[in-house]
Amino acid sequence: MPETPHDNPETPPVTPHVGQSLGRRLVLTTLVFCVLFILLSATVRTFSAWNSNQEDMTNELQLIDQVFRGTLSKAIWEMDRDALHTQLDSVSQVAIVGLVELHILKPGRDPEVFQRARPDIPTSSGKAPTLQRVLTYTPYPGGEETVGELRLVGNESLLWRQLISDVTGIVFTQVLQSLLLAGLIMWTFNRSVTVHVRHIANHLSQLSPLNLHRALQLQRSGRHQDELSLLERGVNGLQDKLSGYLERQHMAEQNLAAHRDRLAELVEERTTELRAANELLRELNRRDPLTGIANRRHFDEVKDIELRRAQRRDQALSVLMCDVDHFKLYNDNYGHSAGDQCLQQIAQLLTQVFCRAGDLVARLGGEEFAVLLPGLNAEQAQHATQRLHRLLEQQQITHAYSPVAPYVTLSIGVAQLGAVPDDFEALLQRADAALYRAKHQGRNRTIHT
C-alpha cells in the first residue's frame, strides 16, 4: 500500500537560537532613557533656575538702589530723620528685600547704623545676593561728599520659594515627559509586537484549503531573531504544503483596509488639532497680552451689540473712558517693566470694581482703558467710579513724580446713552470729551457728560 504524506510526518524543524528577547530589549531601553534624561534634565534645569532667580533679584536690588539712593543721601545730609526712616521703611517693604542696612558716616566718630529686616524671614544663610553702595551727596557743584553706605540683602526666603516653584515645574515637566515616554513605549511596542501579532492573527483567521500555501511575511528587519521570528517560521512551516493564491488576495485587501483606517485617523487628528488651534487663535485675538483683559478688537465686537440691546429694551448704558495720569513720567522714571506692572494692577482693579455679568473692561492702547456698563445709569456709574478712586487710593501704587498725588491716579470720563438715539462712536466721543475735561480740571477725578 503506497505511503501517504500523513503516514510520514515531517521531521520537526530545529529550533534556532533566540537572541535578546523583545521584552528585555524594551525594558532596557526604557530604563536607560529614563535615568539619563531625568538626571541630566533635573540637574541642568534646577541649576539654571537658581542662577536665573539670583540674577533677577540682583537686577531688582540695583533698581531699588537707583530709586532710593538720591533721596537717602539727601535725607542724611539734611539730617531729616523722619524722611530717612520713611525711606528705609519703604525699601524694607519691597518683597525682594530681606535686610536693609544703612551706615551714616560721622567724622571722628563711629558710624551710626540703621537696620530694617523683614520679621517673617529666617536668618539668611548667605545665598541671597547682596548689594553694597557708597552714598554721596553734592551740596554744591563740584563738592561731592560721602555721607554713608547702603547695604541691601536679598530675600533668601523668596529665592527658596521661587526655587521650589521652579522645581515643582520641573517635576511637572518630568511627569509630562514620562507620559510622553509611555507613549513612546506604546508606539514602539505597537510597531515591534502588536502590529505583527495582529497581522499573524488576521492571517490565521483566514486560513482555508484554498489559501494556506502563501507564506506569512512579517514586515520587519531580518536582523532580529526573537519570538516573533520563531512564530513566523512555525506558521510558514504549516503552510508549505497548501495553496496560497487566495491568501495573497486577502492580504492585499487587509493592507488596503489598514491604510484606509490609518488615513481616516490622521484626518481626524489633523482636524481636531486645527480646530483647537483656531479656537486658541480666536481667544488670543480678543485679549490684551499684557493685562489679560479684553483688547480693542473685542471691545469693538461687543459695543454695537450692547448699544442695540439697550436701545431695543430701553435700558441704561454707560461708557467710561479711563486714562492713567502722568503715565509717561511713571514710565520714564520707574522703567517700562514697572510701567507694565502698573497697567496690570490698574486692569485688575478695574475688573474687581466692574465685575457684573455683562460688564466689559478693555484696554484700548497704552494707558487708556474703556469700560462698557450695560444697565447702569448715571448715578450708579458715579458710585462705581467713586469706589474705583477709593480703591486706587488705598492700593497706593507709588508715583513720586506725579504732580497730582504721590500715587497713581486715574482721570475718568463717563457718558450715558441719552433719550436721542446715539451711534456708539458718538457715545464714545462724549465719554472721551468728558475725559479731556477731567484732565484739564486737575486730573484724578471723574467728569460726567
Please report the pLDDT score of residue 194 as a whole number. Answer: 74
**Band of pLDDT at residue 104, cut at 50, 70 and 90:** confident
Of 45-49, 98-102, 266-270, 317-321, where does the model show the most confidence?
A: 317-321
Which range has the worst mean pLDDT, 233-237, 371-375, 382-386? 233-237
Residues 412-445 have pLDDT tens digits of 999 998 766 568 888 999 999 999 999 999 999 9
Q: Looking at the predicted structure, is the pLDDT value of residue 9 above 50?
A: no
Q: Within 13 Å, how many C-alpha atoms sit on residue 27's CB side? A: 5
Residue predicted with more confidence, 232 or 21: 232
Residue predicted with more confidence, 360 or 17: 360
**Band of pLDDT at residue 7, cut at 50, 70 and 90:** very low
Q: Within 13 Å, how many C-alpha atoms sit on residue 83's CB side? A: 13
Please report the pLDDT score of residue 398 as a whole number. Answer: 94
Q: Looking at the predicted structure, is the pLDDT value of residue 11 above 60?
A: no
Show the domains of the chain with their CATH numbers: 20-205 (no CATH), 209-285 (no CATH), 296-448 (3.30.70.270)
Burial track 405-426 (b if 16+ CB lie within 10 A, e otherwise): eebbbbbbbbbbbeeeebebee
* Ramachandran sector of residue 129 (left: φ over 0; alpha: ψ -120 to 50; beta: rest): beta
DSSP per-residue string spanning 159-200: HHHHHHHHHHHHHHHHHHHHHHHHHHHHHHHIIIIIHHHHHH
Which range has the worst mean pLDDT, 73-87, 313-327, 374-388? 73-87
| Beta-bridge partners for 150 | 102, 133
- Give the separation between CA 449 and CA 438, rounded to whole angstroms: 11
Please report the pLDDT score of residue 244 as a whole number. Answer: 46
- Give the separation between CA 127 and CA 35, rounded to whole angstroms: 30
Q: Looking at the predicted structure, is the pLDDT value of residue 378 above 50?
A: yes
Kindly state the cell numbers that stand for 201.
Answer: 492573527
H-helix or E-strand containing 237? Answer: helix 227-239
- Give the separation between CA 449 and CA 447, rounded to whole angstroms: 7
**Band of pLDDT at residue 247, cut at 50, 70 and 90:** low
Which range has the worst mean pLDDT, 167-176, 275-284, 331-340? 275-284
Q: Looking at residues 49-74, what average pLDDT do you find?
A: 82
Q: Looking at the predicted structure, is the pLDDT value of residue 18 above 60?
A: no
**Band of pLDDT at residue 272, cut at 50, 70 and 90:** confident
Q: Looking at the predicted structure, is the pLDDT value of residue 26 above 70?
A: no
